Structure 1
Amino acid sequence: MAPPAGRVRPGRYLAFFALIVVALYSLVFFTGDGKPTPKLGIDLQGGTRVTLTARTPDGAEPSREQLNQARQIIETRVNGIGVSGAEVVLDGQNVIITVPGEEGEQAKSLGRTAKLGFRKVITAQPAAAVPQQQGGQQQGEAGQPSGEPSATPDPPPTGGGSAPGAAPAQDPSPPPDSGNVQDEIAAEIQAAKEVRQNPALVPADPNDQAAMLAAQQAQQQAMAQLNCAAQDPLVGNDDPQLPLVTCNEDGSEKYVLGPVFLEGTQIEDASAGFNDQRGAWVVNLSFKSQGADTWADFTSNNINERAAFVLDTRVVSAPNITVAIPDGRTEITGQFGQQEAKNLADVLKYGSLPLSFSSSDATTVSATLGLASLEAGLIAGAIGIALVFIYCLFYYRMLGVLTVLSLILSGAIVYAVLVLLGRWIGFTLDLAGVAGFIVAIGVTADSFVVYFERLKDEMREGRTFRSAVPRGWVRARRTILASDAILFLAAAVLYALAVGEVKGFAFTLGMSTVLDLTVVFLVTHPLVALVAKSKRLSSPKLSGLGTVQRLGEQRRRATGRVGAAVKEA
Structure 2
Amino acid sequence: MRSLTVFAVIVATLYALVFFTGDKSPTPELGIDLQGGTRVTLTARTPDGSTPSQDSLRQAQQIIESRVNGLGVSGSEVVVDGDNLVITVPGEDSSQARSLGQTARLYIRPVLGSQAAAAPGAQQAPVQNPATQAPVPSEPEATPAPQQRPFPAQNPPAPTPAPAQPSEAPAAEPSEAPAAEPSEAPVPGSPEAAAAEIAKAKETRQSEDPAVQQQTMATLDCSAPDPLQGNDDPNLPLVACSTDGTGVYLLGPSIIDGQEISDASSYFNTQQSRYEVSLSFKSDGSSTWAQFTSTNIGNQAAFTLDSKVVSAPVVQGATPVGSATSITGQFSQSQAQELANTLKYGSLPLSFQASEAETVSATLGLASLEAGLIAGAVGLVLVLIYCLIYYRMLGLLTALSLLSSGLVVYAILVLLGRYIGFTLDLAGIAGLIIGIGMTADSFVVFFERIKDEMREGRSFRSAIPRGWARARRTILSGNAVSFIAAAVLYTLAIGQVRGFAFTLGLTTILDVVVVFLVTWPLVYMASKSRFWSKPSVNGLGAVQEVARERKMAAAAVSEEA
Category of TM-score, reference length = shorter chain: 0.5 to 0.7
Q: Distance in 2 between matches of 1:12 and 1:39?
A: 34
The 1:98–1:519 alpha-carbon spacing in structure 2 relative to 1, beyond 3 Å, is: same
CA shift, 1:431, in A, is 2.0
The 1:45–1:266 alpha-carbon spacing in structure 2 relative to 1, beyond 3 Å, is: farther
Amino acid at match of 2:504: L
For residues 253-307 of structure 1, the C-alpha deviation after alignment (integer angstroms, 9 at most, x for no partner) is xx9xxx97777996887323xxxxxxxxx56454655479xxxxxxxxxxxxxxx
For residues 109-166 of structure 1, the C-alpha deviation after alignment (integer angstroms, 9 at most, x for no partner) is 864768999xxxxxxxxxxxxxxxxxxxxxxxx993269999639xxxxxxxxxxxxx
Q: Is the 8 A contact 2:40 2:354 kept in 1?
A: no
CA shift, 1:34, in A, is 2.8
The 1:71–1:145 alpha-carbon spacing in structure 2 relative to 1, beyond 3 Å, is: same
CA shift, 1:536, in A, is 1.2
In the alignment, which residue of structure 1 is the partner of 2:55?
62
For residues 146-202 of structure 1, the C-alpha deviation after alignment (integer angstroms, 9 at most, x for no partner) is 69999639xxxxxxxxxxxxxxxxxxxxxxxxxxxxxxxxxxxxxxxxxxxxxxx99
Please point out which of 242, 249, 261 is paired with 1:270: 242
In the alignment, which residue of structure 2 is the partner of 1:103?
93
Please point out which of 477, 491, 504 is paired with 1:482: 477
Q: Is the 8 A contact 1:89 1:499 kept in 2?
A: no
Tell whether 2:27 aligns with 1:37. yes
Considering fraction of residues, name the structure with more helix.
Answer: 2
Instruction: For 1:4-403, list aligned pairs within 5 A.
Output: 11-52=1-42, 57=50, 60-63=53-56, 66-67=59-60, 70-71=63-64, 85=74, 87=76, 89=78, 95-104=85-94, 107=97, 111=101, 144-145=115-116, 152=123, 219-223=180-184, 225-228=185-188, 230-233=189-192, 235=194, 270-272=242-244, 282=245, 284-286=247-249, 288=251, 290=253, 353-355=348-350, 363-367=358-362, 369-403=364-398
Q: Distance in 2 between matches of 1:431 and 1:52?
A: 27
The 1:269–1:13 alpha-carbon spacing in structure 2 relative to 1, beyond 3 Å, is: farther
Q: Distance in 2 between matches of 1:103 and 1:557?
A: 74
In the alignment, which residue of structure 2 is the partner of 1:458?
453
Tell whether 2:484 aligns with 1:512. no
In the alignment, which residue of structure 1 is the partner of 2:440?
445
Amino acid at match of 2:449: R
Q: What secondary structure sits across from 2:123 in the alignment? A: coil
TM-score normalised to structure 1 length: 0.59
Q: Is the 8 A contact 1:55 1:62 kept in 2?
A: no
Q: What secondary structure sits across from 1:103 in the alignment? A: coil
The 1:444–1:285 alpha-carbon spacing in structure 2 relative to 1, beyond 3 Å, is: farther
CA shift, 1:44, in A, is 3.1
Q: Is the 8 A contact 1:115 1:236 kept in 2?
A: no
Q: Percent identity?
A: 51
Amino acid at match of 1:145: A
Amino acid at match of 2:55: P
Q: Distance in 2 between matches of 1:235 and 1:147?
A: 25
More deviation, 459-468/542-551: 459-468
Q: Distance in 2 between matches of 1:412 and 1:265?
A: 58
Q: What secondary structure sits across from 2:39 in the alignment? A: strand
Q: Distance in 1 between matches of 2:73 and 2:508?
A: 26
Tell whether 2:556 aligns with 1:561. yes
The 1:43–1:267 alpha-carbon spacing in structure 2 relative to 1, beyond 3 Å, is: farther
Amino acid at match of 2:181: Q
The 1:357–1:418 alpha-carbon spacing in structure 2 relative to 1, beyond 3 Å, is: same
Please report the RMSD computed on the Cα atoms of aligned residues, expressed in angstroms: 4.9
Q: Distance in 2 between matches of 1:533 and 1:429?
A: 42
The 1:240–1:413 alpha-carbon spacing in structure 2 relative to 1, beyond 3 Å, is: same
Please point out which of 534, 538, 545 is paired with 1:539: 534
Q: Distance in 1 between matches of 2:120 and 2:254?
A: 19
Q: Is the 8 A contact 1:69 1:354 kept in 2?
A: no
Q: Distance in 2 between matches of 1:519 and 1:115?
A: 47
Q: Is the 8 A contact 1:74 1:111 kept in 2?
A: no
Amino acid at match of 2:186: L
Q: Distance in 1 between matches of 2:237 and 2:63?
A: 16
CA shift, 1:72, in A, is 6.5
In the alignment, structure 2 segments of 5+ residues that lack a partner are 108-112, 125-148, 151-171, 204-220, 222-226, 256-298, 309-334
Q: Is the 8 A contact 1:487 1:513 kept in 2?
A: yes
Tell whether 2:498 aligns with 1:503. yes
For residues 438-485 of structure 1, the C-alpha deviation after alignment (integer angstroms, 9 at most, x for no partner) is 111111011111111111122222222112112211221121111110
Q: Distance in 2 between matches of 1:152 and 1:488?
A: 64
The 1:73–1:455 alpha-carbon spacing in structure 2 relative to 1, beyond 3 Å, is: closer
Q: What secondary structure sits across from 2:40 in the alignment? A: strand
Tell whether 2:397 aligns with 1:407. no
The 1:413–1:285 alpha-carbon spacing in structure 2 relative to 1, beyond 3 Å, is: farther
Q: What secondary structure sits across from 1:516 in the alignment? A: helix
The 1:220–1:471 alpha-carbon spacing in structure 2 relative to 1, beyond 3 Å, is: same
Q: Is the 8 A contact 1:116 1:263 kept in 2?
A: no
Q: What secondary structure sits across from 1:49 in the alignment? A: strand
Tell whether 2:424 aligns with 1:429. yes
Q: Is the 8 A contact 1:240 1:260 kept in 2?
A: no
Q: Distance in 2 between matches of 1:383 and 1:90?
A: 36
The 1:469–1:266 alpha-carbon spacing in structure 2 relative to 1, beyond 3 Å, is: farther
CA shift, 1:45, in A, is 3.0
In the alignment, structure 1 segments of 5+ residues that lack a partner are 1-10, 118-141, 154-200, 203-210, 250-254, 273-281, 293-325, 333-342
The 1:368–1:290 alpha-carbon spacing in structure 2 relative to 1, beyond 3 Å, is: closer
Amino acid at match of 1:383: V
Q: What secondary structure sits across from 1:423 in the alignment? A: helix
Q: Distance in 1 between matches of 2:191 and 2:546?
A: 84
TM-score normalised to structure 2 length: 0.60
Q: Distance in 1 between matches of 2:237 and 2:66?
A: 14
In the alignment, which residue of structure 2 is the partner of 1:529?
524
Task: Count residues in correspondence.
Answer: 407
